[in-house]
Amino acid sequence: MGSLLINIILNDLILFVSNSYLSNYADDNTLYTFGNDLKEVKRALNLDFRNVREWFYENYMVLNADKCHFMCFGLNKEDET
């Protein structure tokens, strides 16, 4: 019952993500995107992360900061900024 309730609560979270993609499984949510410009990818993720963080706050939920991570996969080492 707990997982079903969490999915019902988080069901509309996807409506607040417009610059990237949202994947959720039970209570785990992942924002992700892709592109050729690392600055643009970071911008898109940051915009949506702010929206998600605000959505959690407005719905009296708390994000666990210890579980919030940023990962970048790519071939160009010069983009590491």
What does the alpha-carbon distance between residue 11 and residue 38 come to, in Å, rounded to a whole number? 29
The two three-digit tokens of residue 52, written as one number: 């998600």
- Please state the domain extents for the chain: 2-79
Nearest partner of 70 among 44, 14, 58, 56, judged by Cα: 44
51-78 average pLDDT score: 85
The rounded mean pLDDT for the chain is: 85
Q: For residue range 22-42, list pLDDT tens digits in order.
A: 998 777 889 999 999 999 999
* pTM to 2 decimal places: 0.79
Whether the Cβ atoms of residue 6 and residue 45 lie closer than 8 Å to each other: no
Alpha carbon dihedral 24, 48, 17, 77, in 10-degree steps, equals: -70
Poorest-pLDDT segment among 29-33, 34-38, 51-55, 75-79: 75-79
